[in-house]
Amino acid sequence: MLGCSGTFPGPESPCSGYLVEHDGYHLVLDLGNGALGQLQRHVDLLAVDAVQVSHLHADHCLDLVAYSYARRYHPGGRAPALPVHGPPGLAARVAGAYEAPPADGLDEVYDFHVVTPGQTYRLGPFEVTTAQVEHPVEAHAVRLRAGGRTLVYSGDTACSDALVELAGGCDLLLCEASWPSEPAPPPGIHLTGREAGDHAERAGAVRLVLTHLMPFTDPALVLAEARQSYTGPVEIARCGATYDV
Ligand SMILES: [Zn+2]
Ligand SMILES: [Zn+2]
């Protein structure tokens, strides 16, 4: 867990970033503001093999700007172009936050790939499948399968049958639960604890980890809600924690 704070950084965690490792391959799921710092606690700065971005909100992709400097100006020489997969417009978004156009040399740092929801492709040992979920901008949930195990990450979403389908039978569902049910949150943006638990239950997920809680969300409330709607083991993500899938 490189960062699990929802929407903006909290005192205990940067924004969304998840380092997923299998057989020495390092895939980063989202790289929100601050997550790059935490990455360096776990692996060498250049030991990332690919990045998968769920959507273009700043709290999920903004550290791609900071990371471009690290790769470009590394004392060992410029690192090879890093595969970065994400929704349409990601390259332009990162370039826009990088420098006034024309962005200088970002294409030499990142090899951007546009992901079409529903697509399945390989990143190293991972079979990657995406699904479009419910959010004010195009947002993808991501299913990673390797070594006979499956991890599904919701990205940011409101209630989504596509997420339930993608997460079907997964070993670990890393699901956003941004806020509690009361007071009633605005519709169509995020999940409550109860809704996250409900999605995990319907999907038959073996285990549930709740993430993207906003700093003003009480974790105890969200956890209690999820325990009412999900019968499996559930916990709140902690920055720096590691999970074996
Ligand atoms: Zn977010
Ligand atoms: Zn978002």
**Closest ligand to residue 133's CA:** 2
Ligand 1 centroid from CA 62, angstroms: 11
Ligand 1 centroid from CA 185, angstroms: 15
Instruction: In whole angstroms, give the CA distance from residue 187 to residue 196.
Output: 14
Ligand 1 centroid from CA 77, angstroms: 33
Ligand 1 centroid from CA 76, angstroms: 34
Positive/negative CA dihedral, 194, 160, 63, 173: positive
Ligand 2 centroid from CA 135, angstroms: 7
16: nearest Cα among 141, 143, 131: 141
Locate 238 and state its tokens. Answer: 């902690």
Ligand 2 centroid from CA 44, angstroms: 28
Ligand 1 centroid from CA 63, angstroms: 13
Region 85-102: what's the mean pLDDT? 88
Length of the chain: 245
**Closest ligand to residue 16's CA:** 1
CB atoms within 10 A of CB 3: 30
Q: Which helix (H) or strand (E) holds 61?
A: helix 58-61
pLDDT tens by residue, 110-162: 999 999 999 999 999 999 999 999 999 999 999 999 999 999 999 999 999 99
Ligand 1 centroid from CA 31, angstroms: 11
Ligand 1 centroid from CA 219, angstroms: 16
Ligand 1 centroid from CA 5, angstroms: 8
Instruction: Using a pLDDT cut of 70, give the percent of the chain over it.
Output: 98
Amino acid at position 219, single letter = P
Instruction: In whole angstroms, give the CA distance from residue 100 to residue 91.
Output: 14
Ligand 2 centroid from CA 156, angstroms: 5
Ligand 2 centroid from CA 78, angstroms: 31
CB atoms within 10 A of CB 80: 11
**Closest ligand to residue 6's CA:** 1
- On average, the pLDDT of the chain sits at 96
pLDDT tens by residue, 114-127: 999 999 999 999 99
Greatest alpha-carbon pair distance for the chain in Å reads: 53
pLDDT band of residue 104 (cuts 50, 70, 90) is low
Ligand 2 centroid from CA 139, angstroms: 8
**Closest ligand to residue 188's CA:** 2
pLDDT tens by residue, 182-211: 999 999 999 999 999 999 999 999 999 999
Q: Which residues pair with 192 in a beta bridge?
A: 179
Instruction: In whole angstroms, give the CA distance from residue 226 to residue 194.
Output: 5
Answer for the pair 71, 91: CB distance below 8 angstroms, yes or no: no
Ligand 1 centroid from CA 59, angstroms: 5
Q: How far is CA 236 from CA 1, 43, 79, 168, 211, in A?
A: 11, 23, 35, 21, 6
51: nearest Cα among 96, 12, 14, 19: 19
